Amino acid sequence: MRARAIPQPRPVRGLDLLAKVAASAVPVLASPIDQLRHDGRRILDQASGHKEPPFTDRAVGPRPLTPLAEVSVVSALLPGTLGERLRQLGRDLDMVRQRLRGNPPKATIDRPKRTRLAATPAPRKAIRPRPVVVTRVVRETPDAVSLFLTEEDGSPFEFVAGQFLSFDVEVDGEVHRRAYSLATPPLDGRDAHVTIKRVDGGRVSNHLNDHAEAGMSLRVLGPSGAFTLEPDGCAQHLVLIAGGSGITPIAAIAEMALEAAPHARVTLLYGNRGETDVIFRERFDALAVRHPDRFRVEHVLESPSAAWTGARGRLDGPTTMERLAALGHTDAGCAYYVCGPSGMMDAVREALLESGVDAGRIHEERFSRPEARTDGAVELGAHTVTLKADGRSLEVVTDGQTILEAGLAAGLDMPFSCAMGGCAACKVKVTSGHVVMEEPNCLTRAERDEGYVLACVGRAGSPCTVEVER
Ligand code: FES
């Protein structure tokens, strides 16, 4: 299992010292001053072009600011080693003080206890979704609606362009979990929103299209997901290929690249059935006007009206390559981002690989529920899952639960963190049988090819055996 390194705090700067002095002078305003400090550092970062590693970077992640309580004006003025020693001494004295008061400090890192499978440790609690508020509802097309969201306390979301939220939505007394991508980039002045398109028989998508309204409360997990703009992706040409509602993460990525990276060029191919199915058409037109040398969008419609003068056809492999050629596209190390119906994605991937694009440059995001991807050999329902770890094995019976839920319910200490397919902490290897996962999730194609699945979004499609790795 991969673990994220604990990032060291960022070095103390002038703004931190200023905030410390202000908070010491007016202790009752320490909290808003600290918030101002965080906002100020973000603005300074943007102005200077400084970028922290994104949350999705499994190896590092962004570094936090040094907590205001630990910022010391005196130690910042001393030479490096002496200053650090003084800071450590301050921390140690603080811990001693807390202990003497009978209030020992919490461990900095919670280390989950590792116990053997058969030792029946107490199951850990799953992470609970949190409430968010719908501030605005915008109908994008007759079949798609945008829900603008804030955290319950009114604060904006922290996320990376291309990530998704997992919603727990109650429909007719039953709670369903669905993932929807944030369709905006995390830039100033953009309110975060998801855009949800009706799906034939889709209980959640149809429910939200029919009933979502401003003021409504929804429960979410995340943001999460690894279909994001790579830190170095902005320096190159991005080719974005989307079908239908697959445009949502693609739109966020396109806008992020255009607005945040002055040298990035973006080509977008967007396939739909007809004119009224095109989501964000005005938004892309406005981007093309604002960035005439850097952004090209081509709509490809399967059954347009007679008045349509643009490209026609189904956006499959041959059409994709044909349209790219018509746009004068040459592959010179471009990054390709693909999101849409499964059939379209498979065809586009195959065509790109055949044309010589290496697999590492193709980024994909799939959206589907396990129920939608079963075939004759795979039937979701009650199956026996044999869990193997530490040289022992235990059988659990799933009945619509995920492998993780079934394991935890049986008292097994299975590793997990986000419980929504976004961190890979729950990765297990399937050695026999079928496990079907909800999509999207963060598992890479290479990991899938090696037989790994994510226990938190994986359901048994047949009797199966999985190995829990430590
Ligand atoms: S717990 Fe994060 S992916 Fe499963």
Within 6 A (CB) of ligand 1 lie 416-419, 421-426, 454, 456
Residue 416 C-alpha to ligand 1 middle, in angstroms? Answer: 5
CA–chain centroid gap for 453, Å, is: 17
Q: Please, are residues 422 and 441 in contact by the beta-carbon 8 Å criterion? A: yes
Which stretch of DSSP H or E encloses residue 438? none
Residue 427 C-alpha to ligand 1 middle, in angstroms? Answer: 7
Q: Please, are residues 222 and 165 in contact by the beta-carbon 8 Å criterion? A: yes
Domains of the chain, by residue range, sit at: 14-100, 130-224, 233-367, 372-468
* Torsion angle of the four alpha carbons 323, 326, 332, 333, in this order, in degrees rounded to the nearest 10: -10
Residue 317 C-alpha to ligand 1 middle, in angstroms? Answer: 32
Residue 421 Cα: closest atom of ligand 1: 3
Compute CA distances 67 → 4, 95, 235, 350, whole Å: 20, 15, 33, 49
Residue 275 C-alpha to ligand 1 middle, in angstroms? Answer: 38
Residue 455 Cα: closest atom of ligand 1: 4
Residues 6+ apart with CB under 8 A from 331: 355, 356, 357
Average pLDDT per 10 consecutive residues for the chain, totaling 470 residues: 49 86 82 80 81 52 70 74 67 65 46 33 55 96 96 87 91 89 89 94 94 96 82 72 97 93 92 98 96 96 97 96 92 90 94 93 80 56 88 84 87 80 88 89 87 93 88
Query: 372-468, what's its fold?
Result: Ubiquitin-like (UB roll) (3.10.20)
| DSSP SS3 for 56 | coil
Residue 124 C-alpha to ligand 1 middle, in angstroms? Answer: 14
Amino acid at 254: A
- Among protein residues, the one with the nearest Cα to ligand 1's atom 3 is 421
Choosing from 163, 418, 437, 469 the residue with most ligand 1 atoms within 8 A of its CB, the one to mutate for a pocket test is 418
CA 115/CA 414 separation, integer angstroms: 9
Residue 457 C-alpha to ligand 1 middle, in angstroms? Answer: 8
User: Is it true that domain 130-224 has CATH number 2.40.30.10?
Assistant: yes
Residue 427 Cα: closest atom of ligand 1: 4
How many CB atoms sit inside 10 A of residue 27's CB? Answer: 9
Choosing from 416, 444, 448 the residue with most ligand 1 atoms within 8 A of its CB, the one to mutate for a pocket test is 416
- Cα first-last separation, the chain: 6
Q: Are strands 174-181 and 237-243 parallel, antiparallel or unpaired?
A: unpaired
Residue 122 C-alpha to ligand 1 middle, in angstroms? Answer: 19
pLDDT value at residue 91: 64
The model carries a pTM of 0.65
Q: Are strands 335-339 and 237-243 parallel, antiparallel or unpaired?
A: parallel
The secondary structure of residue 368, as a DSSP letter, is B
Intrachain domains 130-224 and 233-367 with the same fold: no
| DSSP SS3 for 445 | helix
User: Is it true that domain 233-367 has CATH number 1.10.10.10?
Assistant: no
Q: How is residue 174 written in tokens?
A: 């039953």
Taking alpha carbons only, the member of 324, 368, 330, 376 closest to residue 346 is: 368
CA–chain centroid gap for 111, Å, is: 24
pLDDT value at residue 1: 32
Q: Please, are residues 453 and 443 in contact by the beta-carbon 8 Å criterion? A: yes
